[in-house]
Structure 1
Amino acid sequence: MKGNSRRKLDQRTFMAQVRECRDKGYLLSPKKIGSGAFSKVYLAYATQERMQHNPRLASDLRGKRHSMVAIKIVSTAEAPVEFAQKFLPREISSLNATYKHLNVVQLYETYHNSQRAYLVLELAGRGDLLEHINTVSEHRRCPGLEEKEAHRLFWQLVSAVAHCHSAGVVHRDLKCENILLDDQGFLKLTDFGFANQSALKNALLSTFCGSVAYTAPEILMSQKYNGERADMWSLGVILYAMVTGKLPFKERRPHRMLLLMRRGPAFPPGLSPECQDLIRALLQLRPCARPDLPQVAAHRWMLPAPPALFRSALGAAPADNPAEPREDSEPTRPLRQLRRQQQQGTPKSASGPAPPPPEARPSRGAGSASAGLGLQSIAKASPLRHRPPSLCSPSALRSAPGHRLVSRGQWVDRVEAT
């Protein structure tokens, strides 16, 4: 009886949401593409009338040649006060601050009532990076992506994070599950629920948040930390996961994780020395020893910079609302500086002088790491109550049969006010 009552309540709630979305010009489908503790994400369609009244939405969907969006419905009535008054406004503010960049999920608009908040977001149709790594690893029968593809995707991620940092936004929850891919293969950074905005570049933060597998050691030690340097650590974990198909440090308990971090990452045979060098530089225990984004972009593994990255950022992005400032009319400032450095001469490595790049990097053989297949997940669902749910895409829930090569991160279990 309780199950039937619950289903009827859920159905009534959904029908109310359908009416509320229709009143705003969106047709909510029953296809749920993501969920979290206090929210659900549905596939929806924007009506022509709605697009006429929302230039930001219209310009983006015109370039995509479809009317599909993702609507994240947050139950503010059920969520803790801290979530509704702190984390949700931060997410909305950060998404508005980072509009518009080709590699950041776009927020088209928000609306709310006394029970729910609605976030109308860009839809990414090919799932998250974790699923992509697992699917490619299954197909190749070798864990991880080829370095050429990892290079392409990591450049886009660096561009997205540089754009966020230049807008004063630190993400603080960078991980494979929060990176989506669209139907054209473009990377989309999402889930800004733990993001923080500050006008002070070197401001120190104290919120203990994120996922243990991706979290910088200074956060695990409950120290005050620089958000940009903490993001750099997470980038190192993501790059390692891309090229190896696994996480560099696998441990549920933070104090044990710190011991593994001090030992440093282990690399499989066949991974290029340049890639190893960049990962080691990013995974430095001391935050001040990690490279910043211009240094990462100038690292010898990152060269040459794919020109398509800048062309796509200039040409593939939808037209702006004339009233909106154009933030992606050219590459973000750190990357613009980097391009000038590249034109002036060969940049130095993030961890030392860069030797001339080899003509051919060693490739990873299909059978070189076959013993690594079948890695099991290191963690179950998050115990963190206040974590805002990630935006998922229609294919994000697909499971690659047979092998799970990158485990989903474990959330830290407490959040302090910052």
Structure 2
Amino acid sequence: MKGSGRRKLDQQTFMAQARECRDKGYLLSAKKIGSGAFSKVYLAHATQERMQHNPKLASDLQGKRHTMVAIKVISTAEAPVELSCKFLPREISSLNATYKHLNVVQLYETYHNSQRAYLVLELAGGGDLLEHINSVSDHRCCPGLGEKEARRLFRQLVSAVAHCHSAGIVHRDLKCENILLDDRGLLKLTDFGFASQSGVKKALLSTFCGSMAYTAPEILMSKKYSGEQADLWSLGVILYAMVTGKLPFKECRPHRMLLLMRRGPTFPPGLSPECQDLIRALLQLRPHARLDLQQAARHRWTRPTGHAPFCTMLSTSPVENPGEPREDSEPPRSLLQLRRPQQLGTPKSTSGPAPEPPDASRSRGGGSARLGLQSITMANLGVGASRQPPPLCSRSTTQNVLGLYQVN
């Protein structure tokens, strides 16, 4: 289709989406804050009438000095059936199960028709963690966040992941791109497209999914794995990225990546021994040797001398997160955005070659290349050709649109 014809069709589609949102009580703006192969995310405003009829929305927006939300529009008519039948329900279920936590993105409501599905989500205007790392690094003229800022964010992330695990949700795609900040710096965990929800305690999984740079070694080795322990490995990678401004292991081939993992991470001069110890304890090759979330919360780096035990904050209640100790003077709760970076497919899929994940078309700025926080060429091992993902640091805010892989 020629450019002018495509623009006209896009405009007609947007007008139809705006009408459908207006009928539900939302004023869709033309400001697109994220996109994927089968989804677009727009800034929108909730009307007073809508808030009167949606207690979730009214409760969360109360106290905020705006009525803005993020509306994710998924083209179910164009997307493969797996998306609407498997991945979209999984995302919605995970967001509902983790509702009302300070550091997890909130889903207010969903609606759909024969053409499209709409997710009305909390808005986070502060960009993602990669953008934050690069911005702070530029300001400090030194790669990475300072340890105090990294500690503040890591504590919130541990609390978010603990809440998910207590609700029976393992994320399986923890990475800097899927961690957002609101306009006051409060962390928000998002992108639950690869999440797994199981009522069986300590159930093992077999799907090869996630981003290679953050993926646990047992997954790369195609072993059955504990989702909780795989999330712990990813936490170690994220913490390393926060304090060093780069990823601990950078390789595009799994066997080479495993060699690097066996050697362990290296640390720059000046990083505290306590922080190094915590990272090493999370990046253990043997899953059972990794610190669990309570141990990570009690670690001497996470809980500096003179502060209340952080482990008491790992509340299993989905209703409220008690907030952080005063050291970091956390702001009250706020908002969300949406995104999906490159994913890894399952190496033994029985459903044939896996298509490229829908949000792989996102582009990011090049700031992270200066700091070493750049994507790695990742192969869909056994399911397709390798591809080069975009650089990792942008304002793009696409939530997952659920990769198309065999997932358990």
Cα shift at 1:201: 2.0
In 1, Cα distance between the equivalents of 2:78 and 2:62? 36
Q: Which ranges of structure 2 fall in alignment gaps of 5 or more residues?
A: 326-340, 346-354, 384-404
Residue type of the alignment partner of 1:152: R
* TM-score under structure 2 length normalisation: 0.82
Map of 1:142-221 to 2, 5 A cutoff?
142-221=142-221
Cα shift at 1:405: 3.9
Match of 1:327 among 308, 318, 330: 318
In 2, Cα distance between the equivalents of 1:397 and 1:184? 23
Cα shift at 1:306: 6.3
On the 8 A contact 2:99/2:318 being kept in 1, the answer is yes
Map of 1:376-395 to 2, 5 A cutoff?
385=355, 387=357, 389=359
In 1, Cα distance between the equivalents of 2:33 and 2:229? 32
In 1, Cα distance between the equivalents of 2:309 and 2:106? 21
* 1:172 counterpart SS class: coil
Map of 1:288-367 to 2, 5 A cutoff?
288-304=288-304, 327-329=318-320
* 1:95 counterpart SS class: helix
1:19 is aligned to 2:19:
yes
Residue matched to 1:367: none
1:257 is aligned to 2:257:
yes
Cα shift at 1:311: 12
* 1:64 counterpart SS class: coil
On the 8 A contact 2:313/2:321 being kept in 1, the answer is no
1:67 is aligned to 2:73:
no
CA displacement, residues 114-138 of structure 1 (integer Å, 9 cap, x when unaligned): 1111000000001000000011111
> Is the alpha carbon distance of 1:119 and 1:389 closer, same or farther for their aligned partners in structure 2, counting shifts above 3 Å?
farther
Q: Percent identity?
A: 74
In 2, Cα distance between the equivalents of 1:179 and 1:200? 27
In 2, Cα distance between the equivalents of 1:308 and 1:73? 42
Cα shift at 1:76: 1.1
Aligned residues: 359
Residue matched to 1:115: 115
On the 8 A contact 1:193/1:387 being kept in 2, the answer is no
Residue matched to 1:406: 373
In 2, Cα distance between the equivalents of 1:381 and 1:174? 12
In 2, Cα distance between the equivalents of 1:48 and 1:312? 34
On the 8 A contact 2:210/2:344 being kept in 1, the answer is no
* 1:403 counterpart SS class: helix
Residue type of the alignment partner of 1:71: I
Residue matched to 1:235: 235
Cα shift at 1:401: 9.2
Residue matched to 2:37: 37
Residue type of the alignment partner of 1:206: S
In 2, Cα distance between the equivalents of 1:59 and 1:221? 45
Residue type of the alignment partner of 1:407: Q
Cα shift at 1:400: 4.5
In 2, Cα distance between the equivalents of 1:267 and 1:405? 14
Cα shift at 1:208: 0.9
* 1:301 counterpart SS class: coil
On the 8 A contact 1:204/1:225 being kept in 2, the answer is yes
Residue matched to 2:328: none
* 1:213 counterpart SS class: helix
Residue matched to 1:2: 2
In 1, Cα distance between the equivalents of 2:245 and 2:122? 27
Residue type of the alignment partner of 1:181: L
CA displacement, residues 161-180 of structure 1 (integer Å, 9 cap, x when unaligned): 00000000000000000000
On the 8 A contact 1:40/1:74 being kept in 2, the answer is yes
Residue matched to 1:346: none
Residue matched to 1:371: none
On the 8 A contact 1:193/1:388 being kept in 2, the answer is no
CA displacement, residues 25-67 of structure 1 (integer Å, 9 cap, x when unaligned): 0011111111112111110000001000001101111122210
Residue matched to 1:280: 280
Cα shift at 1:81: 1.5
Q: CA RMSD in A?
A: 2.9
In 2, Cα distance between the equivalents of 1:81 and 1:193? 15
Q: Highest Rg: 1 or 2?
A: 1
